[in-house]
Amino acid sequence: MSTLTEQIQKEIDTLDLNFSKKNVGTIVHVADGVAHIEGLSEVMYNEMVLFPGDVYGIALNLTEDEVDCVVLGDISSLKEGDEVQTTGKLLSVPVGKELLGRVVDALGHPVDGKGDIKSKEHYPVERIAPGILPRQSVDQPLQTGIMAIDSMMPVGRGQRELIIGDRQTGKTTIAIDTIINQAQINRVGFKSGDADFRPVYSIYVAVGQKNSSIARTIATLEKANALDYTIIVNASAGENPANQYLAPFSGAAMGEWFMQNGMDALIVYDDLSKQAVAYRQISLILKRPSGREAYPGDVFYLHSRLLERSARLNKDNGNGSLTALPIIETQAGDVSAYIATNVISITDGQIFLETDLFNQGVRPAISVGLSVSRVGSAAQIKAYKQVAGKVKLELAQYRELKAFAQFGSDLDARTKAQLDRGDRIVELFKQSASSPRPVEIQICLLWAVQNAYFDDISSKKVTAAANSLQDFLSTLQASLLEQILKEKNLTESIEDELKKILLAWKNTFQPES
Amino acid sequence: MTYSNSKLKILAKKLLQVSRDEKGNLSSQQVSKVLALIKKQFPSRQLRLLLKHYLNAVKQALLQEQAIIEYAGTIVPSEIDSIVKTISQHYNRSITTIEKNVPELIAGIKIRIVDDVYNTSIEQKLQIIQRKNFS
């Protein structure tokens, strides 16, 4: 009771008796999530406007007499003649570490039932991307924990790497595994007490997905203890298109906070095709001129301005980074579709997933030929470069040889050896979901394959052998793994040690078991 | 000749300009002249739409010169004069007022000029408190 009276007393004490000026307008027409408003002469582009019942909207079309606003909440209570007022604020969302472990909507409101978010700062959802001067080149690795990616198309901190493929090819799994790997690295890094350790915080933006899929993703992250380092921005398929269009920008604002404050963050946009569809819907309702496939003319700018916000800042600007993993869903493997080509041209590389490979059991179903990272080995530690330098080439040659080998049975020994090695690398790169591999383990595994330690193991047993070697190394040879991480280079002494360890492991591993 | 909707709007705005007297105020004499002219000269099938746009433009122009003062309780003429003087100075045009007693405001006044609203009513302060603490 006393707190209630104290609260009212406080409000009385701080009551502002001066005039408050607001700019208002009247709804003349409301339908399909868009309100046409007369008045609001002082409204800014992208400004939040307040409808009756505390429903917010954003002003998107400003004409001489009318303003078109996209309503961000329940439209059913709005009617013609209702008064709308400007807020003087651009659409902004809460940012900061307080959001970690939380699920929020496109406006940053919590939707996980864990109470309010006590965030101290807000960032506008639309911000200009960092310019040329504060940036520096991408040269620090961001380990995904997926061998095929880390070895052949490494991702660096501040890079934009597109994940593209048909439905049900494992696009989200790659993104979630990467988030899980960051959480695992963070946990080890914090535990080690290393002052130079730079954690990577993750933001997962779900656009136009089923709520059941999002619930599954959250459960996966929770199970892997990765949610503590992750923010989930959810604009599900049931939400209005404005929220689906805004969610990636809100997520980017949250990620930018980490980058601007000298930290590293990873953002996953799952997926931008659905965001483009939502934007198309809004644009058509707003009567903006439509172009190819009825998308508005600025659909390229929609994605380019979003992805340009991912950057690696130089030391003078805090040395932070924001890495983006946008996802695009293709139809029947068509990478030449409008939105797909747009995003391919914006990003610094793509991971292309193939339905055929997925159905053959090659998971992750990465197409080596069509996947590329334009940052390349600049984002790999030296030890990794030593073992993975030729893998992509070897795999490309393997695929070519395999195609030819189908026509004849007599193969020379060299070709046969190349095919056998290729078979083993393909098997080695198979990885189950939610089990990212630490980089030092990946280096050891690749070194073992390159140095013929897997040659006497049948290709069908390579996955089991790799898992066995991983267990052996992580339980019994932790000191060697630490040394690889520390030196970041495969020195002669490390290689000698590896040889001994691999011989010891081979005695314990029984391929036929 | 058929005019597009946007062209009709532009035409209505031009008609509004010629509906003002030499001081720049809307004059009923000028408006009558304009109405007579367009009735005579303009194609009848688009006349209705043009008149609608003209009406909107005139309404907007009238609103620009009018302030609606809502108050609770009583307001003395000197206060109204002071308000008119202040807002006329602020908007740099002569403004007339319409006064309305609105008990829902509880106390204070609310002035509306086109789409600008100046509010010092207790009702609005309570709404702010409600939004801040109970929503």
| pLDDT(A16) > 80 | no
> Phi, psi at residue A452, to the nearest 5°?
65, 20
Residues B114 and B78 in one domain: yes
Q: What residues contact residue A343 under an 8 Å CB cut-off, 6+ apart?
A: A162, A164, A272, A303, A307, A326, A328
The average pLDDT across B76-90 equals 90
- Strands A34-39 and A55-62 turn out to be unpaired
Inter-chain CB pairs, A–B, below 8 Å: 41
CA distances B102 to A86, A100, A437, B77, B106, Å, are: 24, 49, 71, 17, 8
CA nearest to A498, candidates A510, A511, A486, A480: A480
pLDDT at A60: 92
Residues B89 and B121 in one domain: yes
The average pLDDT across A448-453 equals 91
pLDDT at A180: 97
Active-site residue, from A127, A198, A216, A374: A374
Task: Enter the tokens of residue A128.
Answer: 């200009």
pLDDT at B131: 73
In which element (H, E) is residue A48 found?
strand A47-51
- Give the separation between CA A145 and CA A148, rounded to whole angstroms: 9
**Among candidate residues B63, B92, B112, the one where a domain is terminated:** B63
Cβ-nearest to B124 among A7, A20, A41:
A20
Q: Which residue is closest to B114 within chain A, CA to CA?
A: A39
B115: left (phi over 0), alpha (psi -120 to 50) or beta: alpha
- What percentage of residues in chain A have a pLDDT greater than 90? 75
Residues B76 and B123 in one domain: yes
The average pLDDT across A224-234 equals 97
pLDDT at B135: 56
Dihedral (CA of A416, A420, A423, A425) sign: negative
**Among candidate residues B63, B81, B109, the one where a domain is terminated:** B63
Residues B75 and B128 in one domain: yes
| Max mean pLDDT range (A186-195, A308-317, A477-486, B57-66) | A308-317
Residues B18 and B48 in one domain: yes
SS3 for B61? Answer: helix
Asked if A17's CB is within 8 angstroms of B118's CB, the reply is no
CA distances A146 to A115, B19, B53, Å, are: 35, 74, 64
CA distance A20 to chain B (A): 5
Cβ-nearest to A21 among B9, B116, B129:
B116
Name the domain count of chain B: 2
pLDDT at A377: 83
Half-sphere exposure of A381 (CA within 13 A, CB side): 16
**Among candidate residues B63, B85, B104, the one where a domain is terminated:** B63
Q: What does DSSP assign to residue B109?
A: E
Q: Residues A180-214: pLDDT tens digits?
A: 999 999 999 999 988 999 999 999 999 999 999 99
Pick the CATH number of A22-90 from 1.10.3720.10, 2.40.10.120, 3.40.50.300, 2.40.30.20: 2.40.30.20
List chain A residues with CB under 8 Å of B124. 20
Residue to substitute from A4, A22, A67, interface B, most B β-carbons within 10 A:
A22
- Give the separation between CA A333 and CA B74, rounded to whole angstroms: 74
The average pLDDT across A428-446 equals 94
**What CATH code is assigned to A385-508?**
1.20.150.20
CA distances B37 to A27, A478, B5, B34, B47, Å, are: 33, 95, 20, 5, 11
The average pLDDT across A330-339 equals 94
- Give the separation between CA A50 and CA B59, rounded to whole angstroms: 25
The burial class, CB within 10 Å (0-12 / 13-18 / 19+), for B130 is exposed
CA distance A249 to chain B (A): 26
Residues B129 and B97 in one domain: yes
Residues 58-87 of A with CB under 8 A from B: 65, 85
Q: What is the DSSP string of A230-263?
A: EEEEEE-TTS-HHHHHHHHHHHHHHHHHHHHTT-
Is A374 among the catalytic positions? Answer: yes
What average pLDDT does the structure give for chain A?
92
Q: Which residue is closest to B132 within chain A, CA to CA?
A: A11
Q: What residues contact residue A139 under an 8 Å CB cut-off, 6+ apart?
A: A156, A378, A379
Contact B77, B43 (CB under 8 A): no
- Give the separation between CA B74 and CA A255, rounded to whole angstroms: 55
- pLDDT classification of B134: cutoffs 50, 70, 90: low
Q: Which residue is closest to A4 within chain B, CA to CA?
A: B133
Which of A134 and A7 is assigned the larger pLDDT?
A: A134
pLDDT at A511: 67
Q: By mean pLDDT, which of A120-134, A192-206, A256-270, B37-51 is the weakest?
A: B37-51
Asked if B116's CB is within 8 angstroms of A22's CB, the reply is yes
- pLDDT classification of A403: cutoffs 50, 70, 90: confident
Q: What is the DSSP string of A318-367?
A: TS-EEEEEEEEE-STT-TTSHHHHHHHHHSSEEEEE-HHHHHHT-SS-B-
Length of chain A: 513
pLDDT at A408: 65
The average pLDDT across A148-177 equals 96
CA nearest to A449, candidates A390, A371, A507, A368: A390
Cβ-nearest to B116 among A7, A11, A23:
A23
Quick check: A39 contacting B, CB < 8 Å?
yes
- Give the separation between CA B42 and CA A241, rounded to whole angstroms: 44
CA distances A25 to A45, A82, A448, B116, B118, Å, are: 15, 8, 71, 9, 14
List chain B residues with CB under 8 Å of A18. 120
CATH topology of domain A98-379: Rossmann fold (3.40.50)
- Domain of B124? 67-134
Residues B85 and B125 in one domain: yes
pLDDT at A254: 97
Asked if B125's CB is within 8 angstroms of A19's CB, the reply is no
Contact A312, A157 (CB under 8 A): yes
Task: Enter the tokens of residue A272.
Answer: 């931008």
Quick check: B129 contacting A, CB < 8 Å?
yes
ipTM of the complex: 0.76
Task: Enter the tokens of residue A241.
Answer: 């298109």
Domain ranges of chain A: 22-90, 98-379, 385-508
Residue type, B90: H
In which element (H, E) is residue A104 found?
strand A103-104
Cβ-nearest to B120 among A17, A23, A25:
A17
- pLDDT classification of A399: cutoffs 50, 70, 90: confident
Q: What does DSSP assign to residue B27?
A: -
- pLDDT classification of B99: cutoffs 50, 70, 90: very high
pLDDT at A435: 92
Task: Enter the tokens of residue A164.
Answer: 């593209």
CA nearest to B67, candidates B52, B82, B83, B56: B83
The average pLDDT across A244-250 equals 96
Quick check: B97 contacting A, CB < 8 Å?
no
Scan for tokens 């990616």, then name that residue: A149
| pLDDT(A513) > 70 | no
Asked if A54's CB is within 8 angstroms of B133's CB, the reply is no
Q: Which residues pair with B119 in a beta bridge?
A: A20, B110
Residues B59 and B74 in one domain: no
| pLDDT(A37) > 60 | yes
Asked if B114's CB is within 8 angstroms of A19's CB, the reply is no
Count the neighbouring beta carbons within 10 Å of the beta carbon of residue A134.
15
- pLDDT classification of A410: cutoffs 50, 70, 90: confident
Q: What is the DSSP string of A164-212?
A: EE-TTSSHHHHHHHHHHHHHHHHHHHHHHT-TT---EEEEEEEES--HH
- What percentage of residues in chain B have a pLDDT greater than 70? 98
CA distance A308 to chain B (A): 36
| Max mean pLDDT range (A58-72, A323-337, B74-88) | A323-337
Residues B80 and B129 in one domain: yes
